[in-house]
Structure 1
Amino acid sequence: MTPPRPPLMPLDDALARLLAQAAPLPGIDTVRTLDADGRVLAQDCISPLHVPPLDNSAMDGYALRRADVAAPGAVLAVTQRIAAGSTGSALQPGTAARIFTGAPVPEGADAIVMQEDCEALADGAVRINAVPAPGQWIRRAGEDIARGAVVLRAGTRLTPAELGLAASIGLHQLAVARRPRMALFSTGDELAMPGEVPPEQMRPGAIYNSNRFFLRAMLQRLGCAVTDLGIVPDRRDATIAALREAAQGHDLIVTSGGVSVGEEDHVKPAVQALGALDLWQIAMKPGKPFAYGRIGAAHFMGLPGNPVSSFMTFAVLVRPFVLRLQGVVDVAPKSIAARAFFTWARADKRREFLRVRRNAEGGLELFANQSSGVLTSAAWGDGVVDNPAGQTIAPGDTVRFIPFADLVA
């Protein structure tokens, strides 16, 4: 008698089990701030100075004492000119300083009047045509960053904005998590490589290996150093040999194909021969079969062979795991409430990821064919609807939208 199949594992449970295994990798790299885009901070960045370092002008105009401008039309002698990068002298009563954006505010001045509200006079004086408010157009020292403040936390994945912020406190290099070392290969005798076999010479049943391209690109976007082991034949000995090689000097092995239970699916017994494996049936669509295990010190993740299934399981399971290996704490993609411009009448028992794209009205349109083999849907769309199990969708319903920018960045 065939034993009953275990229930499908909820996706959130699978992710929690994975992240429990994802201890941050040892080792720190020191890189130039200019070269740190996409890397993950290994140490807090603490500011050694105020930003801005001094009170400075937010406008081109005139620095003055408010007490000298009781009413519009006051005339003040202009006694100095202060440009960004220079400093002026203390401002005397009854005088003004011509000042430019970013220039330090002279001692004694308590407001800036923009040049559009002033009239320069022929004798070197200026007429002030507006009464300034206290502190008008003055950016205070430390207004952006105070000395001693933690500007960026360890575990932050650096973007161009963070690089600029680090530079603004004088950091020319940063301590970052080392790059995870990843081994990647595909399994399947049906696979061929573009450029090696022309389309007209493809044998019956053969397909081009698209998974290799997007998986490698996604790993590299996550900051990984990728060793691409290519295509492994559907033989147990070849699979064991590839896994044994991949386990040497790598933190994670990622494969696509061969993790089901067919006679030609050799990944499961090969991993078990070398280490330990959990084969999970996850309640997500596309992407039900998924495997996690260990071979020596290396983690192993086996993805399904269908392209969209492989793409989505990587996005929602592998990506958070790889980020956690680098010390990132918040690894969950952010969903956005959006309005459906489509009907989805076929509620599934699994949590579904429907490929969609935004239209001119800000709503979501559905790709017509949601099959797990139709990679066109991922290229056409700009995100997915994260649809709970058992949920239908009608036009106008509010749904959870996850942009691909958050899943592949």
Structure 2
Amino acid sequence: MPELLETQNNETETVLLIGVVLRGEEEWKVKDTMDELAQLAESAGAVVAGRFLVRQQKIKAGHYIGTGKAEEISDWIKENRVSMVVFDDDLTPAQGRNLQNVFETRVLDRTQLILDIFAQRAQTKEGCLQVELAQHQYLLPRLRNMWTHLERQKGGIGLRGPGETQLEMDRRRLQDLVRTLKRDLELVRTRRTEQRRGRRRHGWALVSIVGYTNAGKSTLLNRLSGADIYTENQLFATLDPTTRQVELPNHEPMLMTDTVGFIQKLPHHLVDSFKATLEEVVEADLLVHVIDASHPQVETQIEAVHKVLDEIGGLEKPMLYVFNKIDDEKGRNAAKRLARQFQKSVCVSAQTGENIDALFDELADCLKGRKVELKLSVPLSEGKLLSVLQKNASILEQEYEGDRADLLVRVSPQLAAQCRPFSTEEEPENEW
């Protein structure tokens, strides 16, 4: 497993952050991701002792930043008693090993830091499975680095040492674990697919909340549904997806799911590991993209979310942009400016509830094409259908005459197909 941010005596970790600016790269972008790396470190429970921004022509194969700069940073580490170094980019196994030898302290990269936070925040069985898969997939190519104390064992015919044997045994064991985890997650995906089919049969609108981490997604879901999901001003405060029922002003129900937040430089294998969760995004009828309008790099965050959505096949889904945190003056001004760039958008404060009614109206407008209005005359002997209509349709009018119920209902296309034998109209109206 990747190393976690905790010491044996439970003391707080002090970390040094290192980023690299390559020739032709914009320095402000690297500084922005370094700010995010600092937030990640703090979310993991560490204290940032300092930062180094290294400018160089290209990445050095051996030490990533070159031996001279590594020695300079090593002196700083010893003077300031830093317990760990975190790089803003992913390191190869060899680079991590070489840097650790120079610094004489633990060296992590951005992915290891994210994995540590995920491991802390995952609560459900599904979340833990996804985190464990990502950890093992990250660890697999790095096994050799863990067995450097056995390097004296030379291989060769008749001379294969226990170090090589143990390495191969661990590699096979990890590969078996990865296969087992993938099978378990495939069962999760199958179960989620069945749940979505059930929801669609009953006419539920499926809405997924997406957005950059710490944009206010969980706070917004709490505001809309009256739920009490954990929220905190930190990156990846919630990891496990949460689904809640929300009723629109026209009394139409929908199911809204809060998904894992996105960040810049989100590792590809993390996206792959969380496919079971991210499928909620792909299968949704509508995406609600929550944006922290008060953030200084709000445009960059929007681009990062779009990049991940494009990667998982969700960018073409209908999307409502929600510019959050207008209770902040800077956020209010930015939200007004940004909202003009998007056809479907609304400015709100999930924290205070400001303009939430306008968001409800926009949600109803975005989902209006999902319903069909029908006039029905249903025999009372069709008790099963009447029960389904009571649970899953909006009944606008109802009147009972003899052994029949005359109804005006608004239903999903799937339910409309079941009701058409009892329709009193030749063609249903597509309204709402």
Task: Give 1 or 2: higher strand fraction.
Answer: 1
User: Hey, which of these two has a bigger chunk of helix by percent?
Assistant: 2
Q: TM-score, normalised by structure 1?
A: 0.29
The structure having more radius of gyration, on CA atoms, is 1
Report the TM-score when normalising by structure 2: 0.27
Higher relative contact order (CA 8 A, sep 6+): 1
